[in-house]
Amino acid sequence: MIGYKDLRQHLKDLEEQNLVIRVDREINKDTELHPLVRWQFRGGIPEDQRKAFMFTNVVDSKGRKYDIPVVVGAYAASERIYSLGLGCQPEEILSRWEYALSHPVEPVMVQDGPVQEVVRTGAELAKLGLEEFPVPISTPGFDSGPFLTCANWITKDPETGIRNMGNYRAHVKSPTRLGARFDERQDALVHWGLCRDKGIPLQAAVVLGAPHPVACAAVVKVPYGTDELSVAGGLAGTPIRLVKCKTVDIEVPADAEIVIEGIIPTEYLEAEGPFGESHGYMDPRAYVPYFETTAITYRKNPIYTSWLSQMTPSESSLIKRRGLQTTVYRYLKIERGIRSVTRVLMHEPLTNLYKFIIVQMKDPPQDQVWMALYSAMTFSWRMGKIVIAVDEDIDPENLDAVMWAMACRMNPVEDVAVVGGRNKGHGPPFKLSGEMLPGINDSALLINATLKEPFPPVSLPKKEYMERAREIWNELGLPALKPESPWYGYSLGQWSEELEEEARLAVNGDYFITGEKLTRMRKKRDIVI
């Protein structure tokens, strides 16, 4: 017993919950596999009805048949799937992340593990290499080749030895060569730069089919020098088991499905891409580091895992969402000391989490509102094109409610700031220079859509009346309700005891008493209304 779920146990749990679609008919990995799963995200399927796909009969465009199955969506096709992998309920995901970030658990070394049941090196590696695995093409018609999308890269700082794990795409260029697409300011690129200064290659390992907590931790932005495998231990509530690689000085999860070992030369860059990216556009070709394989190890009868990436929402964005939101929330609440922050929502559909951020606050002083807006914008170089602050009564996941707050609680001349000199971050427009793409001058829009003074009550029936009406609705056998906030009325401060009493009289049938009072309040018509 390893104390946490590996991919295989997680898949068994999904099957027991009827959350796996098994496809046994022949599927072409180059033209059909990802487009089929894509319909689950672009076909109007509700998020809570998405499932994992298991493909057991995979071929390529040249007719080659693979005996290795491909699974897509097993980590985060939905929050239900994601939470099942963490052993919690969907509503407990945020608290699980808060605990893990505050209570990391150091991994432990073991002598051997399932991921090294089969070892390919030397002539055997040269003969089979990456061609052994059915790597799908993610964006058929635009991508220039297959890409590893569920690739958890592990590298080390050559001076401190501290590990970093991150999820980066990997262009399959030959049976033994991958692209290593490390973006600007990501830790792996820092390691590569330190090795370049020393005149040595960067050793690395690519983990595929990692245990669920490991895959979740790989995508979260934590401070430089933090070992994501310790964060994974915090999520699992127990240490992650690691084994030493066969050909490089890297430790990898012992219970993963596949590990690709190798080095990243530092004297040259190599062209990579294009690739359909999460900002919703094709990323153009660029010059980035490349990876040379020295060994491949895997479990007997391995399962190849692929994440649906590209345009959001996707499995890639959903697995990032809760952990990333928790990280930014903790930064605002704890590190910046903005106590009125109650939640951070990073909008996912199409905008890919980073660009459109909503900060929810409870009774905030106005100076804290602006501190929160500026702090959210500067948390990361790629973050915060549009940042909006709203009150606690506004559900940040309901964009209609957010627009309502902007329409009624914001005065643009006073409550909007445009900040220039920003890096454009991850997304177009691109400079097609063929080099690693630098940021260009951009700006951010900060919007204070919080209440600055008392408002009248929300114009819906009070909660007790809506709840009673819901009971009747259910008695009548009407369609199941999915309440959208706001679904009942509540006071926002501009409401007197007199008006409260009049409303009480009305629901008790005594509204004529108020009518008589109103006759005594008549004014002559020359009074300007």
Q: Is 455 inside a domain boundary?
A: no
| Res 527: pLDDT | 59
CATH number at residue 379: 3.40.1670.10
| Res 158: pLDDT | 96
| Helix spans in 219-260 (H) | 228-236
The answer on 221 and 189 residing in a single domain is yes
Closest of 73, 288, 54, 37 to residue 171, by C-alpha: 288
Give the pTM.
0.89
From CA 485, how far away is CA 402, in angstroms rounded?
A: 11
The angle that helices 93-102 and 79-86 make with each other, rounded to 10 degrees, is 40
How many separate domains does the chain show? 3
Q: Where are the beta strands (DSSP E) in 45-187?
A: 52-55, 58-59, 65-66, 70-72, 108-109, 118-120, 147-148, 152-156, 163-167, 170-174, 177-179
Q: Is 470 inside a domain boundary?
A: yes
Q: Is 49 inside a domain boundary?
A: yes
| Res 3: pLDDT | 84
**Two structure tokens written together for 363:** 């009774």
User: Which residues are within 8 A (CB) of 92 and not within 5 positions of it... i.e. 6 or more apart?
Assistant: 83
**Two structure tokens written together for 455:** 């408002």
The answer on 482 and 441 residing in a single domain is no
The answer on 102 and 53 residing in a single domain is yes
Q: Which of 422, 448, 474 is the last residue of a domain?
A: 448
| Helix spans in 416-522 (H) | 463-475, 497-507, 511-519
The answer on 475 and 398 residing in a single domain is no
Backbone phi, psi, residue 3, to 5°: 90, -5
From CA 469, how far away is CA 472, in angstroms rounded?
A: 5
Q: Is 494 inside a domain boundary?
A: yes
The answer on 229 and 189 residing in a single domain is yes
| Res 287: pLDDT | 92
User: Which residues are within 8 A (CB) of 405 and not within 5 positions of it... i.e. 6 or more apart?
Assistant: 388, 390, 391, 394, 449, 450
The answer on 293 and 204 residing in a single domain is yes
Q: Is 175 inside a domain boundary?
A: yes
Burial 240-249 (b: 16+ CB within 10 A, else e): bbbbebbbbe
**Coil, helix or strand at residue 127:** helix
From CA 373, how far away is CA 449, in angstroms rounded?
A: 11
CATH number at residue 292: 2.30.110.10
Contact 327, 101 (CB under 8 A): yes
Burial 268-301 (b: 16+ CB within 10 A, else e): ebbebbbbbbbbeebbbbbbbbbbebbbbbbbee
Burial of 421 (0-12, 13-18, 19+ CB in 10 A): exposed
Contact 228, 217 (CB under 8 A): yes
Burial of 3 (0-12, 13-18, 19+ CB in 10 A): exposed
Burial of 479 (0-12, 13-18, 19+ CB in 10 A): exposed
The answer on 490 and 442 residing in a single domain is no
From CA 195, how far away is CA 161, in angstroms rounded?
A: 12
> Tens digit of pLDDT per residue, the chain (529 long)?
578 999 999 999 999 999 999 999 999 999 999 999 999 999 999 999 999 999 999 999 999 999 999 999 999 999 999 999 999 999 999 999 999 999 999 999 999 999 999 999 999 999 999 999 999 999 999 999 999 999 999 999 999 999 999 999 999 999 999 999 987 668 999 999 999 999 999 999 999 999 999 999 999 988 888 899 999 999 999 999 999 999 999 999 999 999 999 999 999 999 998 999 888 888 888 899 999 999 999 999 999 999 998 899 999 999 999 999 999 999 999 999 999 999 999 999 999 899 999 999 999 999 999 999 999 999 988 889 999 999 999 999 999 999 999 999 999 999 999 999 888 777 777 765 545 455 567 899 999 999 999 999 999 999 999 999 999 999 999 999 999 999 999 999 999 999 999 999 999 999 999 999 999 998 887 756 5
Q: Is 321 inside a domain boundary?
A: no
Burial of 472 (0-12, 13-18, 19+ CB in 10 A): exposed
Give CA separation, 152 vs 82, 167, 217, 259, in Å. 17, 5, 10, 9
The answer on 57 and 186 residing in a single domain is yes
The answer on 361 and 497 residing in a single domain is no
Q: Which of 421, 448, 475 is the last residue of a domain?
A: 448
From CA 239, how far away is CA 396, in angstroms rounded?
A: 35
Q: Where are the beta strands (DSSP E) in 40-157?
A: 52-55, 58-59, 65-66, 70-72, 108-109, 118-120, 147-148, 152-156
Contact 106, 345 (CB under 8 A): no
DSSP structure string for 289-357: -EEEEEEEEE-SS--EEE---SSSSSHHHHHHHHHHHHHHHHIIIIIS--TTEEEEEE--TTTTTTSEE
Q: Which of 258, 287, 306 is the last residue of a domain?
A: 306
The answer on 406 and 374 residing in a single domain is yes
| Res 512: pLDDT | 94
Closest of 265, 23, 309, 293 to residue 148, by C-alpha: 309
Classify the C-alpha dihedral 111-114-117-122 as positive or negative.
negative
**Two structure tokens written together for 174:** 């030959």
Q: Is 506 inside a domain boundary?
A: yes
Backbone phi, psi, residue 102, to 5°: -90, -20
The answer on 422 and 289 residing in a single domain is no
Q: Sheet of 416-423: strands edge to edge?
A: 341-346, 356-361, 386-391, 441-448, 416-423
Closest of 289, 325, 263 to residue 184, by C-alpha: 289
By residue range, what is the domain housing residue 34? 7-306
Q: Is 436 inside a domain boundary?
A: yes
| Res 499: pLDDT | 95
Burial of 497 (0-12, 13-18, 19+ CB in 10 A): exposed
The answer on 375 and 471 residing in a single domain is no
Q: Sheet of 65-66: strands edge to edge?
A: 27-28, 58-59, 65-66
Residue range 105-121, pLDDT digits in tens: 999 999 999 999 999 99
Q: Tokens 């939905």 map to which residue?
A: 78
From CA 453, how far away is CA 309, in angstroms rounded?
A: 43
Q: Sheet of 108-109: strands edge to edge?
A: 108-109, 241-244, 251-253
